[in-house]
Chains A and B, each alone.
Chain A
Amino acid sequence: MYQYSIKQLSDALQTKQVSSVELTQYFLTRMKSLDPQVNSFITQTPELALQMAAQADEALAAGNAHPLTGIPMAHKDIFCTDGVRTSCGSKMLDNFIAPYDAHVVTQFKNCHMPILGKTNMDEFAMGSSSESSYYGPTKNPWDLNAVPGGSSGGSAAAVAAGLVPFTTGTDTGGSIRQPAAFCGISGIKPTYGAVSRFGMISYASSFDQGGPMAMSAQDCAWLLNAMVGFDQRDSTSMQIEPTDYTAQLDKSLKGLKVGVPSDYFGEGLDPHVAASVKQAIAEIEKLGAEVVEVSLPNQKLAVAAYYVLAPAEASSNLSRYDGVRFGHRCDAPNDLNDLYTRSRAEGFGAEVKRRIMVGAYALSAGYYDAYYLKAQKVRRLVRDDFSRAFESCDVILGPVAPTVAFNIGEKTDDPVSMYLADLYTIPVNLAGLPAMSIPAGFVNQRPVGLHLVGPYFSEARLLNVAHQYQQVTNWHQQRPEWVGDK
Chain B
Amino acid sequence: MSLALAEVKKIAHLAAIAVEPEELDAVGAKLSNILDLFAQLSQADTEGVEPMAHPLDQTQRLREDLVAEVDQRDKFQAIAPATENGLYLVPKVIE
Contact with A along B33-54 (1 / 0, CB 8 A): 1111111111110100111111
Given contacts A341-B17, A358-B31, A364-B14, contact A307 B37 (CB under 8 A): yes
Distance, CA A340 to CA B34, complexed state (A): 25
Q: Give the residue of A327, A341, A416 whose beta carbon is less than 8 angstroms from that of B34.
A: A416
Query: Cβ of B30 and Cβ of A354 under 8 Å apart?
Result: yes
Please, which residue of chain B has its CB at the minimum distance from the CB of A321? Answer: B16
Query: Cβ of A298 and Cβ of B44 under 8 Å apart?
Result: yes
Distance, CA A315 to CA B12, complexed state (A): 11
Query: Cβ of A416 and Cβ of B37 under 8 Å apart?
Result: yes
CB neighbours of B39 from chain A (8 A): 304
**Which of B33, B39, B52, B75 is the most central at the interface, judged by chain A CB atoms within 10 Å of its CB?**
B52
Query: Cβ of B38 and Cβ of A315 under 8 Å apart?
Result: no
- The smallest C-beta distance from A442 to any residue of chain B, in angstroms, reads 31
Query: Cβ of A357 and Cβ of B17 under 8 Å apart?
Result: yes
Distance, CA A232 to CA B64, complexed state (A): 11
Given contacts A373-B51, A376-B51, A415-B30, contact A99 B76 (CB under 8 A): yes
B90 within 8 A of A: yes
Q: Is the interface of A mostly helix, strand, loop or mixed?
A: helix
Q: Give the residue of B31, B43, B44, B78 whose beta carbon is less than 8 angstroms from that of A357.
A: B31
- The smallest C-beta distance from A30 to any residue of chain B, in angstroms, reads 32
Interface size on A, residues (CB 8 A): 74
B67 within 8 A of A: no
Query: Cβ of B15 and Cβ of A305 under 8 Å apart?
Result: no
Given contacts A192-B56, A381-B46, contact A339 B41 (CB under 8 A): no
Given contacts A304-B37, A371-B38, contact A345 B49 (CB under 8 A): no
- The smallest C-beta distance from B17 to any residue of chain A, in angstroms, reads 5
Among A41-49, A52-60, A162-170, A328-336, the stretch that binds chain B is A328-336
Distance, CA A131 to CA B45, complexed state (A): 36
Distance, CA A62 to CA B73, complexed state (A): 37
Interface hits, A279-326 → B, CB 8 Å = 298, 300-301, 303-305, 307-308, 315, 319, 322-326
CB neighbours of B82 from chain A (8 A): 329
Interface hits, A227-255 → B, CB 8 Å = 232, 235-236, 238
A177 within 8 A of B: no
Please, which residue of chain A has its CB at the minimum distance from the CB of B46? Answer: A377
- The smallest C-beta distance from B21 to any residue of chain A, in angstroms, reads 13
Q: List 22 A-B contacts (CB under 8 A).
A: A97-B78, A192-B56, A193-B56, A193-B58, A206-B53, A206-B54, A238-B58, A307-B37, A329-B82, A335-B91, A342-B18, A353-B27, A354-B34, A357-B17, A360-B15, A371-B41, A377-B51, A378-B41, A379-B52, A431-B55, A432-B54, A432-B55
- B-side residues, CB < 8 A to A, are 10-12, 14-19, 27, 30-31, 33-44, 46, 49-56, 58, 60-61, 63, 72, 75-76, 78-82, 88, 90-93
